[in-house]
């Protein structure tokens, strides 16, 4: 996200660079990058996601919203390249894992375009680009790939995240719930690694060589209120690209939370909605014209794209000045 006030170097920090060389072109795509460009006054929010496009679909408006704030800094960590994802554009179908197996590299390029559209400049791939592979859906043979993120040792993966946490020193962490929002193994593993990382980062006795211990003040899990889910369920009824196809009732869905269990709503406004739409369009392998994104905007209005909900699982609730007594600022 647009780090207002150029709080970081205006490049995606997927890399660690050698400060002695002062060569911004020499990126090695390792786990992280030095924090010399971070404004000391900025309040950091760290997002941990599983695959390229998850940052946009689930939290894109929130990313854009905080990127536009001069007092905030956004860091995004993505755990895999999404190699096992489907390809929604026929002319790119041969990139798929069971054909050329080039989808991960293509999605990396999409990710760079999408995060730029959101204004994100501080992005990282856990352990470096390509360290962990997309595990595919639960129960598939791809879960057993030697580099599948699902099979990663949690402490090993968390160590790379701890390094980022201790360097960036976020006030707030955003990730998935224990079910990974909808049960994908990489989302579940991202939750485990993020929560473990937060605990280990705060322990001064654990791997002190990774930096000074740091405790994250607030932790949120992404969620979707049942009331909003019901509106979306109705909006997609009869649509050609219906993500709820075959589901008889909203109560049958494996995700969503009662409204009373939701703690925060970030309503990003028109600019955030437009940035999120642009970021989604940067993923041609994942979002086809006329798909759910267009249906949602047409049926529920463009503002629906800018509204994202969260559960607070660590820390004290801030000012409850949003609808239903929800927080309107994760940093409050």
Judge whether 51 is annotated as a binding position: yes
In the 8-state DSSP scheme, what is residue 328? S
Report how far residue 94's alpha carbon sits from residue 80's, in angstroms, rounded to the nearest whole number: 20
> What is residue 116's three-state secondary structure?
helix
Residue position matching structure tokens 């909203």: 250
Report how far residue 102's alpha carbon sits from residue 95's, in angstroms, rounded to the nearest whole number: 5
Neighbours of 147 (CB within 10 A): 15
Structure tokens at 48: 């941990």
Judge whether 22 is annotated as a binding position: no
Structure tokens at 43: 């309040």
Residue position matching structure tokens 């600019």: 271
Report how far residue 267's alpha carbon sits from residue 51's, in angstroms, rounded to the nearest whole number: 24
Measured between alpha carbons, how far is residue 40 from residues 35, 36, 272, 332 in Å?
Answer: 10, 9, 25, 18
Report how far residue 320's alpha carbon sits from residue 145's, in angstroms, rounded to the nearest whole number: 45
Judge whether 203 is annotated as a binding position: no
Half-sphere exposure for 254 (CA within 13 Å, toward CB) = 9
Pairing of the two strands 172-175 and 122-125: unpaired
Report how far residue 92's alpha carbon sits from residue 148's, in angstroms, rounded to the nearest whole number: 23
Residues sharing a CB contact under 8 Å with residue 276, sequence separation 6 or more, in sequence order: 56, 60, 61, 64, 118, 268, 305, 306
Residues annotated in the binding site for Zn(2+), as ranges? Answer: 51, 54, 187
Binding residue numbers: 51, 54, 187
């Amino acid at each position: 996200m647009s780090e207002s006030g150029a709080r970081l170097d205006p490049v995606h920090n997927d890399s660690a660079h050698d400060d002695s060389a002062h060569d911004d072109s020499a990126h090695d795509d390792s786990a992280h990058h030095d924090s010399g460009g971070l404004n000391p006054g900025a309040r950091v929010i760290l997002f941990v996601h599983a695959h390229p496009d998850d940052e946009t679909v689930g939290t894109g408006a929130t990313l854009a919203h905080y990127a536009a704030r001069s007092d905030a800094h956004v860091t995004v960590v993505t755990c895999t390249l999404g190699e096992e994802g489907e390809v929604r554009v026929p002319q790119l179908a041969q990139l798929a894992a069971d054909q050329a197996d080039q989808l991960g590299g293509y999605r990396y390029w999409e990710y760079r375009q999408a995060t730029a559209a959101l204004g994100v400049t501080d992005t990282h791939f856990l352990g470096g680009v390509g360290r962990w592979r997309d595990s595919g859906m639960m129960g598939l043979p791809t879960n057993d790939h030697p580099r599948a993120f699902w099979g990663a040792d949690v402490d090993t993966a968390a160590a790379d995240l701890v390094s980022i946490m201790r360097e960036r020193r976020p006030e707030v962490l955003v990730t998935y719930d224990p079910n990974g929002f909808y049960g994908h193994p990489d989302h579940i593993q991202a939750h485990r690694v993020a929560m473990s990382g937060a605990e280990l980062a705060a322990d001064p006795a654990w791997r002190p060589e990774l930096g000074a211990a740091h405790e994250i003040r607030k932790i949120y899990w992404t969620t979707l209120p049942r009331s909003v889910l019901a509106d979306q369920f109705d909006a997609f009824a009869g649509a050609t690209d219906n993500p709820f196809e075959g589901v008889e009732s909203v109560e049958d869905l494996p995700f969503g939370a009662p409204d009373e269990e939701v703690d925060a709503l970030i309503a990003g406004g028109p600019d955030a909605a437009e940035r999120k739409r642009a970021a989604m369009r940067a993923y041609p392998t994942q979002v086809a014209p006329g798909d759910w994104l267009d249906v949602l905007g047409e049926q529920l209005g463009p503002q629906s794209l800018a509204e994202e909900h969260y559960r607070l699982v660590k820390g004290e609730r801030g000012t409850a000045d949003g609808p239903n007594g929800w927080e309107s600022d994760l940093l409050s």
